[in-house]
Structure formats: C-alpha cells, structure tokens
Amino acid sequence: MSVVPEMKQALLASVSAADNGRKIKDPATGETVGYAPQHGVRDLQNAVDLARSAQPAWADAGHETRSAALLAAADAVEAHAEELAQILSREQGKPLNGPNARFEIGACSAWLRAAAGIPLEPETLVDDGETRAEVHYRPLGIVGAIGPWNWPMMITIWQVAPALRMGNAVIVKPSEYTPLSVLALVEVLNTVLPAGLLTAVSGGRDVGEALASHPAVSKIMFTGSTATGKAIIKSSADSIKRLTLELGGNDAGIVLPDADAKAIAEGLFWGAFINTGQTCAALKRLYVHEDIYDAVCEALTEVASAMPMGVGLDENNVLGPLQNKAQYDIVERLVDEARKSGARILIGGNPDTEQPGYFYPTTLVADIDNNNPLVVEEQFGPALPIIRYKTVDEAVAMANALDVGLGASVWSPDLEQARTVAARVQAGTVWINKHGAVDPRIPFGGAKQSGYGLEFGVEGLKHLAQPQIING
C-alpha cells in the first residue's frame, strides 16, 4: 500500500482549534484529522457585521475587478491544491485519486475561472423610440451559503464564486461533518479577497437556521437534503429571501434495447458510483430492457469488481468509505431489505465488520421490484438497484414515479431516439450516454422536489443578482 506518509500540516493546523474544537475523524480509519471551531449564533452576527461593512465597496468595484479577484482565487487554490486535496481526502474519506479529491480541487479552480469569465451585460428589452427599457443585474447584498458533506469544497465554490462575481458578500455554513475542508478552502480564498467579504461560520444546524432567518441576509444558496430545504423555505419566509435550493435526487438511468452493454458499462458505473455513490446527481436506479438485462448486469459486475476501494490516501484506491455512520446505516439497511425481499445480489452486500472505517462494498442488486425501498429511497452510497423493463413507456413511467427529479440519463447509440425518450423524463438535466456530467457553462438545477433555481452559466450568475429594470 503506497499511503502518502505525512500530509502538510500548515493549512490544517491553521483551521484547527485543538483546545476547544470538535474532533473530526477520518471516516476510513477513525484517526483524528483535526478539530473544528464550534462557532455559534454570536459568531454569525460578527460575520454579518463584517459582510455589511465589506460589501458596498465590493459592489462598487465592478465586474472587471471582481473577476480579476476570482482568477487570483483560482490561482491560490491551484497553489495549495495538494494540501487541500489531502485535507479533503482525510476528512471526507474520498480517495486522492480517480474522480475524487484532486478532481474536486480541480473543479474548484475551474468553477472560479468560469464565474470570472462569463460575460453579463445589461440587456435592452424594448427600444422603440418611445420606450427604452433595460434590465441590469445588481448585487443582492449578503448571501448565505449552506452546504453538504459529500463534495464540500466544490459545492462551496459553486455557491461562493457566482455570489462574489455579482458583488455580494458571502457567509458560508459548512456541514458539521466536513468543516475543516471548507475552512481551509475559505482561508485560501481569503489570501486574495478583501477582508470581511467571505467568512465561514462552522456551526451546526442552529447556525444554519439562524443564517436562513437572519434579516440582513438577502439570499440563501442551499445544497443538501430535501427535508432541510423545506425547513429553509420556512425559516427564510419572514424576510422573503431569495433561495436557490439544490436538494436530494434519486436519478433514473434508462438503458434502451439497442445499447451495447460492454461499451456503456464503465460510464454506467461511474454515473452511479462516483464519490462512492455519495453524489446528488448520481445514477441511483438503473432501468434496463429485458433483451439486454443479463448482458448489462454481467458487464457492470465486471467493471465493479475491478475498482479498488480503501483508505483515501492510498493512491491505488478509486472508491472510499461512507462519510459517516448515519449514511452507512442507511445503505446497509436498504441492501438488507432488498436481499430479504428476494432480490439478487450480483456483487457486494457483505461488509467486513472487522475493518475500521465506514466501508460498504460496491453492491449491485438485480431482479428487484420497482417499489423496493432501495429503489424508492435515496441510498446515497455504493449500492445500485437494476430494474428490468419490457417497454420504453413502462421505463419512463417508473422513472417519473417519484417526487424528486434532479438528473436522469438515457443510454442508446441512436441519439435521436435517446433524445425523444429524454424529453419525456421529468428531471432538471437528462444526460445521454453519460450521467452526472456537470459543466460550469451549462445551467444545473432540479425539477419537482429536487429544488429550484439554477446554478452555473449565465443563468447561475443571474440567480445571484437582483434584476433591476430601468425604464425611461
């Protein structure tokens, strides 16, 4: 095993407060990673005061200056990339290698650069000689960014970068499971940003609630569970906050009968198992036509059996542990229920309880009913149910049967046919022959109870601004 012997301690030490902090453990080993400061509602008020004094000058600075700062922030992230990746790997559990920790840091700088580079000019709506109406995009003021533990740094950047670009100050509330990663990232960003503009308040649910209800905060960018999204709608109601809600999903993939099982197996695998299945827009229910059902099961099992899972700092591994015990318990319960119902476990399903860490093996479950809990609940872990279908109408109906609709995918070499099926699926994004591919140029957001509002691209910038019409 080629475990990196020691990580650079500088950043981690600077975000750790060993004397009074909350102990954060590596989910792969149980070892202590560091100590998170326990901020409370009083710290939040300090952050609000700082944001209030820093934001007007930042708003006045204009797009060019703000974009230059975001580019400098991207450079700073790149300069600290390996250090950040190691903190992330140890705290979140995801391996350094594969589409994991280093990939996540790369995405942070890519999204910072994209937010800096997208043009957003005022638009002329009417200019007929009598009326001239323009829409301008003004800063909102203070934005609260509340994030989850699965892609903690990348999602923080998704929230922070467009907010800063549009002239806002930002207060980040990281997940209590992964505060050190986000605090380290904020510290790196703050090496190039004006003081007070970006702060992180590392508290629990109470701090999240206080941020979502604070009268000085104009908008909440939230990524997390649908249940918390509903709570934020309620707590933000009194101050009529703007909200972007990126919530839970249970993405369906539909494999059409003409697909080539071997050719798509690796794409299906990573669509489902990226970040060990702990991804909002991962493939979580796979519908396969009966003609190629066995071939797809076989090809997926072959790919799955070749993907090493283990401690994140081991360069060989591409899959890691579940981030926390509560998530491990959900995955274990769902697979156990599927097994008891008579479903067939193709691979996995037998965790090694002697091993330290929250490792649940890569699990594929075949011959499972569409109403099984492993299909209808969000597993958010490395267990994929594979459901057989007879007609495309039946597959589309099953894909659309749930009240969430973040992403979906259709798999076929016949792109025209795939697009026709995609149009019938109720999801914010439908990918063809891939799943979960996000791109900073392309808007991303959920349908149904997977949330509302868009991130990325010019639409993402507009969601962090107050549109103002000048009519005269």
Closest of 50, 452, 471, 376 to residue 219, by C-alpha: 452
Integer-rounded Cα Rg, in Å, for the chain is 23
Q: Are 374 and 338 in contact (CB under 8 A)?
A: yes
Q: Which stretch binds ligand NAD (CB under 6 A): 87-95, 172-180, 268-276, 295-303?
A: 172-180
- Residue 446 in the binding site for ligand NAD (CB under 6 A): yes
DSSP of 377-428, one letter per residue?
A: S---SSEEEEEEESSHHHHHHHHTTSSEESEEEEE-S-HHHHHHHHTTS-SS
248, 357, 405, 453: residue in contact with ligand NAD (rule CB under 6 A): 248
Joined tokens for residue 300: 């997926």
Which candidate in 246, 332, 378, 455 is catalytic? 246
- Residue 280 in the binding site for ligand NAD (CB under 6 A): yes
Which one, 114 or 261, has the nearer CB to ligand NAD? 114
26, 43, 246, 332: residue in contact with ligand NAD (rule CB under 6 A): 246
Residue 280 annotated among the catalytic residues of the structure = yes
380, 411, 431, 452: residue in contact with ligand NAD (rule CB under 6 A): 380
- Residue 111 in the binding site for ligand NAD (CB under 6 A): no
Residues 6+ away with beta carbon under 8 Å from 37: 17, 20, 21, 179, 183, 202
Q: What b/e readout covers 186-219, taking b as 16+ CB neighbours within 10 angstroms? A: bbbbbebbeebbbbbbbbeeebbbbbbbbeebbb
> Least Å distance between CB 326 and ligand NAD?
8
For residue 239, give the 3-state DSSP assignment: helix
Q: Which stretch binds ligand NAD (CB under 6 A): 48-56, 106-114, 125-133, 226-234?
A: 226-234
- Residue 168 in the binding site for ligand NAD (CB under 6 A): no
Q: Are 428 and 450 in contact (CB under 8 A)?
A: yes
Q: Give me the sign of the Cα torsion angle 151, 244, 450, 161.
A: negative
- Residue 144 in the binding site for ligand NAD (CB under 6 A): no
- Residue 47 in the binding site for ligand NAD (CB under 6 A): no
For residue 40, give the 3-state DSSP assignment: coil
Which candidate in 104, 280, 297, 455 is catalytic? 280
93, 167, 249, 436: residue in contact with ligand NAD (rule CB under 6 A): 249
Helix, strand, coil percentages for the chain (3-state, nearest 5): 40, 20, 35
The CA distance from 411 to 260, in Å, is 9
- Residue 44 in the binding site for ligand NAD (CB under 6 A): no
> Least Å distance between CB 209 and ligand NAD?
4
Query: How many chain residues are in contact with ligand NAD, going by CB under 6 A?
Result: 31
For residue 308, give the 3-state DSSP assignment: coil
66, 80, 113, 173: residue in contact with ligand NAD (rule CB under 6 A): 173
Joined tokens for residue 229: 């999204």
Which one, 221 or 292, has the nearer CB to ligand NAD? 221
List the beta strands (DSSP E) in 215-274: 219-223, 242-246, 251-255
> Least Å distance between CB 464 and ligand NAD?
16
> Least Å distance between CB 235 and ligand NAD?
6
Q: Which of residues 332-371 bind ligand NAD (CB under 6 A)?
A: none
- Residue 247 in the binding site for ligand NAD (CB under 6 A): yes
> Least Å distance between CB 317 and ligand NAD?
22
Residues 6+ away with beta carbon under 8 Å from 451: 226, 229, 244, 245, 246, 247, 406, 445
Residue in this structure with the two tokens 């703007």, named with its chain if needed:
242
Compose the 195-214 pattern: x for residues touching ligand NAD by CB under 6 A, - for all others: ---------xx--xx--x--
- Residue 378 in the binding site for ligand NAD (CB under 6 A): yes
Q: Which stretch binds ligand NAD (CB under 6 A): 96-104, 113-121, 168-176, 429-437?
A: 168-176
Q: Are 461 and 447 in contact (CB under 8 A)?
A: no
- Residue least distant from ligand NAD (Cβ): 208
The CA distance from 451 to 305, in Å, is 35
15, 232, 368, 386: residue in contact with ligand NAD (rule CB under 6 A): 232
Residues marked active site are found at 246, 280
Residues that bind ligand NAD (CB under 6 A): 146-150, 155, 173, 175-176, 204-205, 208-209, 212, 223-225, 228, 231-232, 235, 246-249, 280, 378, 380, 406, 446, 451
